[in-house]
Structure 1
Amino acid sequence: MVKETDNPDEISSLTAPGDPAYEMYRQATLGDVDFITGDYLAEVNMANNAQAYQKGEHPGYEETAWEGIKQTIEVISAKKIKVRAKGFNLKVAFLSGDDLHSKFGPNMPTSKDELQHLDGNNQSLNTGPLTYAFLNSSDPVPMISAHAYLGARGIVDGLRRGADIIICGRVADASPVIAAAWYWHSWSETDYGRLAGALVAGHLIECSAYVTGGNFSGFDRYPIERFVLPGFPLAEIDSDGSCIITKHCNTDGMVDVDTVRSQFLYELQGNVYLNSDVSAILDDIVIEQAGLDRVRVSGIRGYAPPPTTKLAIFYSGGFEAQLLLNATGYGTTAKWDLVEKQIHHFIPEETMQKIETLEFQRIGVPATNPASQRSSTTYLRVFVAAVSAQSVLSVVMAMKEISLKHFSVSQNLIDERINFIEGPENVVSYSTGHPPKYEPLAPRDSYDHNPSPEEIVLSKTPRQRIRLGDIAQGRSGDKGANLNFGLFVTNSQHWPWLRSYMSRERMREMIAADDDWDDSFLIERVEFPKIHAVHFVIYGILGRGVSSSSRLDGFGKGFADYMRDKVVEVPAELLALKSYL
């Protein structure tokens, strides 16, 4: 799993049900790889499919995963590539233990004490009212599914027992990559530093082509054709846990320090990244160019995993709908004021008390002296959510009058097993056990930079107003109800300004300026000095998260460029430096 690209020692990654099935074939045929990993069970499609699966109306797997295997199986068989998916004439195993519905179902808890919220130990955080919305019902609320996020040990056990293809339930995104490196290098389960390095490698390649140019904030500085079909990433993991991130030759996209920094900052949990087998300490990460489309990542430390792991619970939270209206030209603000009042007027008071969420989100600002009707048009997004369909429909009916929705679970509760398919009716199962020890969760670091005397002097020099994106790149994403946002500068001389300027209070002000701030939110901030990056976690801003967030950007993916479009003040002498863009 390490070495150069002409050596068959690499892990390739696939992810997401939306990725074309042929990408698995491309990863298997464009160069030598030892392992192909695929992550097809994102929270959003689990949420979308759980109820249909429970009713027997869904096959229980993603079609693109199966299609990819069918296209690639002959190559997999010939090369003996290890795969986590479906297969044929090879030794096949499946991993179980993630489904905890029988343990915690069939209904949702009736109190906050029955299941601990994932952020429940954070004493600084006040969870919002929608976090426990299922407690609002006087009737039992059916639990549709409950899946724990498993680590790598079950996959490792399967590989050691000779499996060629392993089908997994819900494992953490990076777990298959950790397992491949753990197995290949014969690491111990307490080799936390090495496992932590593999965790970061898995994090870097787990999201399609993100680390090879997809969703890259700096794409506009290169020919746009380079990003039309970026190749999927590869990770070459050394025995010490450090890695090289690369891609197959002759594929588009790119792998450089900036694309890797961008993906590193994506969906982080502050400066400690948690997995069921290891906790990775990220403060001293080093990301450096090692050749064309080759980036070395090192400096990761690790310690024992926490005693809990993430448990994704889905329940029927009711119904939701959105109405998208547009208005043009003069008096737009007053028009939207009137629409809000009219809708409220036509919804009965007893119905309003049953509506959980009713938001009027104004999108866009009419252009001054517009040159076209399009530039003068803005939108109003009306979002409504309620337990009953009738309550949601009341908002739709009001429009007719006017117009002619995570928890944590103890790892010891999970019975994870690796299961081998020996025949049509014969399955042999082995328990994969639990981590040898745990490290209790502790409050993560959160701090602002203490400026040096030189930085204080610099801050008092003449300043120039520019957009934040003109000097810094970034990435953002979601973790349930929480949004994370990382920024980095490509010029090291700009780092003192970034770490001083982008404080927690500054972030709060930048959000509050657009009425998006709520006092129940909490901001955590850490720094990664060796890659010139600051990172924020904004707790609670996404409501219930994923499919139940009422925000227009419910996954938080566009938040980074929204913040980068804001105007900031930068010492003029810094902008005089070469290549500040």
Structure 2
Amino acid sequence: MAGDSRNDERGTRPVRIANCSGGQMEPGWQMRKQCELGPIDFVTGDWLAENNIAQEAAAMDAGKSEGFKPNSWQALQLSMDVIAKKGIKVIINGGALGPQNLAKRCQELIDEKGYDLNVAYVSGDNIVSRVRSSLKDRGKLPDSFIDMSGRNHEDAKFTADEILASTAYIGARAIVKGLENGADIIICGRVADASPIIGAAWWWFGWSDTDYDRLAGAFLTGHIIECSAYASGSNFSGFNRFPLETFIDSGFPIAEVEKDGSCVITKHKGTGGMVTEETVKCQFLYEIQGNVYLNSDVKAILDHVEIHQEGKDRVRFSNIKGRPPPPTTKLAIFFQGGYEAQSLANFAGYSSRRKYKLYETQIRQRLKEMNLSDAFDILEFQVVGSPKPNPHYMMESTTYTRIFAQAKKPEPLSALKLLLADNTQQKPSGLHWAQDMRTADPKSFYVYYPCIMPQDEIEEAVHLLEKGGKTKQTIPVTRPPGPNVNCGLFTDRPEIWEWFRSFLTLDRMKKLIGADWKDDFKIERVEFPTIFAVHFVVYGILGRGVSSSTLLDNRGKGFTDYIRAKHVDVPKKFVDAGWTWEEQDDFQDASYDGKGF
């Protein structure tokens, strides 16, 4: 292969790892762009999240899926020629519940085109058979599984027949074994999000499994780039201070990992977006667990993290310390939760709260008359938005109610949809709907139950394929003996730091959360003084999480922006110094007609 000379440079320079996906909808052509636009040694991709594992399991049960994520296969098909030509190695988790099937597809393509590439896949994360057997034989989960909430599995109210999937988060050891034995493409299932990046750097430099500082650095490097463009301009809370054109097509990130585990975050020249201290800080604070971040292969200590701009679109990320890994790892269990539906109704004009109250009272009264009041596990009437007084176009006075319902059977939900239609002529004034009412139809949903299991109970292995797709070698891997939201906030001025850190207390965060706060929620708080940041984890606010959450923002993606929209008192000297900014509300512009920008 033209790119084989890269292996001669292994360990003598930083390894360039480009990430091409941060979610299941990421298009395949992003992999090809990362491979084509400049020199890289590895391309990695993360297509998995908790909810789409359950989706894939349901699709497999229905005979509509081979278990892997379709967009990951699309990416490999679009990129295989340039991967072969340039000698780029590939590590992705797009195998989901069928990594062996995706690996065989790759081998078929390689055989057809005559590429000189070796394929492998990782196993051991899928433990659904063990979970089902324990529930069937003993009526409970294995004794070694630990309830993350400390409730002794009181919420584990599911049977063996209801289980859809169960996957353990495994580390990078099988990836490293595959690379050591000549694999060029490694297809994984539920490895931890950062594991492909850890595995690439681990193999490149030949680290040992006790090089904890180096492994921790690679772990946090993976954390920075695994959400694709989140590190290079997308989802960036400071976007409003830059021209909008900057972020129309953000280039995906590349990590140049050095032998000590530190790295430089960058991107291909000529691509959109930006890589700055602020974009990297935003992604660093996204979904961490406080100042100690756990992974299957290492425990990362974040107290003294350093993030510094080295040049245009080049940010050095360093000073992560490592400790031995925990003996346990996260386990995700998914079961059939029943059925859910939502109906959206809009109101325009005055007295909107009274209109919503009347509408809810009408619906609940009808349900009572039909003996359906107790037919729902959840029935919520949520009001979204507040109308603007004295509006100058209709959209300013329009808000909506979201009726969210869940039930064990679909019939109550179908009855609710019919009831809403029957009530049309008795509605409060100003009520109107969109044309498409399909969200009111019952659809199945899945519940995510997180817990912890011992790592030494996982039978992890990597399997290398030969021409024709058969397994030629299986190498076992040996090891040494849930729902929350993250909110990371930082200031870019050292002069503000002491006030900022003393202002953002646990009690202050509860007050900022406002009416959404409940006393059974818990908050963790940690400071990062070297980057002037405070990070919070709010436990319980997402309910059962993701597809089974009743919240409109069921992944917590808008939570931090909601907190940042709060008005707070600041010292007058900050205002006098020009260190504050006033939000420019697009809706204050009288020339805006509500029909688009």
TM-score (norm 2): 0.84
Query: Gaps spanning 5+ residues in structure 2: where?
Result: 1-5, 93-102, 426-446, 582-597
CA positional deviation for 1:391: 2.8
Per the alignment, in what secondary structure is the counterpart of residue 25 of structure 1? helix
Q: Does 1:391 align with 2:412?
A: yes
Does the 8 A contact of 2:144 with 2:454 survive in 1? no
CA positional deviation for 1:436: 1.6
Q: Which residues in structure 2 correspond to 1:483-502 (within 5 Å)?
A: 483-502=485-504
Distance 1:132 1:386 in 2: 20
Does the 8 A contact of 1:198 with 1:237 survive in 2? yes
Which segment is superposed worse, 168-177 or 370-379?
A: 370-379
Q: For residue 376 of structure 1, what is the aligned residue in structure 2?
A: 397
Does the 8 A contact of 1:153 with 1:432 survive in 2? no
Distance 2:79 2:141 in 1: 47
Measured at CA, do residues 346 and 434 of structure 1 come closer, stay the same or move farther in structure 2, by a change above 3 Å? Answer: farther
CA positional deviation for 1:570: 0.4
Give the letter aligned to residue 489 of structure 2: L
Per the alignment, in what secondary structure is the counterpart of residue 568 of structure 1? coil
Q: For residue 120 of structure 1, what is the aligned residue in structure 2?
A: 149
Give the letter aligned to residue 419 of structure 1: H
Per the alignment, in what secondary structure is the counterpart of residue 195 of structure 1? helix
Distance 2:141 2:361 in 1: 36
Q: For residue 337 of structure 1, what is the aligned residue in structure 2?
A: 357
Q: For residue 367 of structure 2, what is the aligned residue in structure 1?
A: 347
Does the 8 A contact of 2:131 with 2:142 survive in 1? no
Distance 1:414 1:57 in 2: 28
Cα deviations by residue, 1:143-173 (Å, 9 ceiling, x for unpaired): 1111111100000000000100011111111
Identical amino acids, percent of aligned pairs: 45
Distance 1:518 1:115 in 2: 31
Cα deviations by residue, 1:405-448 (Å, 9 ceiling, x for unpaired): 412221111111100112436313434434324xxxxxxxxxxx
Distance 1:552 1:425 in 2: 44
Does the 8 A contact of 1:357 with 1:386 survive in 2? yes
Q: Does 1:270 align with 2:290?
A: yes
Distance 1:55 1:287 in 2: 48
Give the letter aligned to residue 576 of structure 2: A
Q: For residue 410 of structure 1, what is the aligned residue in structure 2?
A: 454
Q: For residue 461 of structure 1, what is the aligned residue in structure 2?
A: none
Distance 2:366 2:155 in 1: 25
Q: Does 1:482 align with 2:511?
A: no
Does the 8 A contact of 1:361 with 1:380 survive in 2? yes
Q: Does 1:427 align with 2:448?
A: no
Does the 8 A contact of 2:485 with 2:542 survive in 1? yes
Give the letter aligned to residue 388 of structure 1: K
Give the letter aligned to residue 148 of structure 2: D
Distance 1:555 1:258 in 2: 23
Task: State the aligned residue count.
Answer: 524
The structure 1 residue matched to 2:242, chosen from 190, 206, 222, is 222
Q: Does 1:29 align with 2:73?
A: no
Measured at CA, do residues 140 and 418 of structure 1 come closer, stay the same or move farther in structure 2, by a change above 3 Å? Answer: closer
Does the 8 A contact of 2:461 with 2:476 survive in 1? yes
Does the 8 A contact of 1:277 with 1:435 survive in 2? no
Give the letter aligned to residue 388 of structure 2: A
Q: Which residues in structure 2 correspond to 1:7-406 (within 5 Å)?
A: 9-15=15-21, 16-85=23-92, 87=106, 88=110, 89=115, 90-105=117-132, 110-111=139-140, 116=145, 119-121=148-150, 135=157, 141-348=161-368, 351-404=372-425, 405=447, 406=450
Distance 1:326 1:113 in 2: 48
Does the 8 A contact of 1:504 with 1:523 survive in 2? yes
Which segment is superposed worse, 523-532 or 107-116?
A: 107-116
Which segment is superposed worse, 420-429 or 36-45?
A: 420-429
Cα deviations by residue, 1:292-343 (Å, 9 ceiling, x for unpaired): 1100111111111111111121111101111111111122111111122122
Per the alignment, in what secondary structure is the counterpart of residue 370 of structure 1? coil
Distance 2:556 2:134 in 1: 30
Q: For residue 563 of structure 1, what is the aligned residue in structure 2?
A: 563
Does the 8 A contact of 1:134 with 1:141 survive in 2? no
Measured at CA, do residues 293 and 319 of structure 1 come closer, stay the same or move farther in structure 2, by a change above 3 Å? Answer: same
CA positional deviation for 1:118: 5.5
Distance 2:504 2:254 in 1: 33
Distance 1:132 1:565 in 2: 37
Distance 1:108 1:377 in 2: 49
Does the 8 A contact of 1:365 with 1:378 survive in 2? yes
Per the alignment, in what secondary structure is the counterpart of residue 494 of structure 1? helix
CA positional deviation for 1:497: 1.6
Which segment is superposed worse, 186-195 or 352-361?
A: 352-361
Cα deviations by residue, 1:356-411 (Å, 9 ceiling, x for unpaired): 21111111111111112211111111111121112333432332342244122211
Give the letter aligned to residue 80 of structure 1: G
Does the 8 A contact of 1:10 with 1:35 survive in 2? yes
Distance 2:419 2:46 in 1: 43
CA positional deviation for 1:133: 5.8
CA positional deviation for 1:140: 5.8
Distance 1:116 1:327 in 2: 48
Q: Which residues in structure 2 correspond to 1:505-524 (within 5 Å)?
A: 505-511=507-513, 513=514, 515-524=515-524
Distance 2:263 2:512 in 1: 36
Q: For residue 538 of structure 2, what is the aligned residue in structure 1?
A: 538
CA positional deviation for 1:132: 6.2
Q: Displaced runs of 4+ in structure 1, greater than 3 A?
A: 106-118, 131-134, 348-354, 428-432, 578-581
Measured at CA, do residues 357 and 119 of structure 1 come closer, stay the same or move farther in structure 2, by a change above 3 Å? Answer: same
Distance 2:418 2:322 in 1: 56
Give the letter aligned to residue 23 of structure 1: Q
CA positional deviation for 1:99: 0.7
Per the alignment, in what secondary structure is the counterpart of residue 228 of structure 2? coil
Measured at CA, do residues 108 and 557 of structure 1 come closer, stay the same or move farther in structure 2, by a change above 3 Å? Answer: farther
CA positional deviation for 1:93: 0.5
Distance 1:533 1:227 in 2: 24
Distance 2:172 2:140 in 1: 32
CA RMSD of aligned residues (A): 2.2
Distance 1:491 1:117 in 2: 43
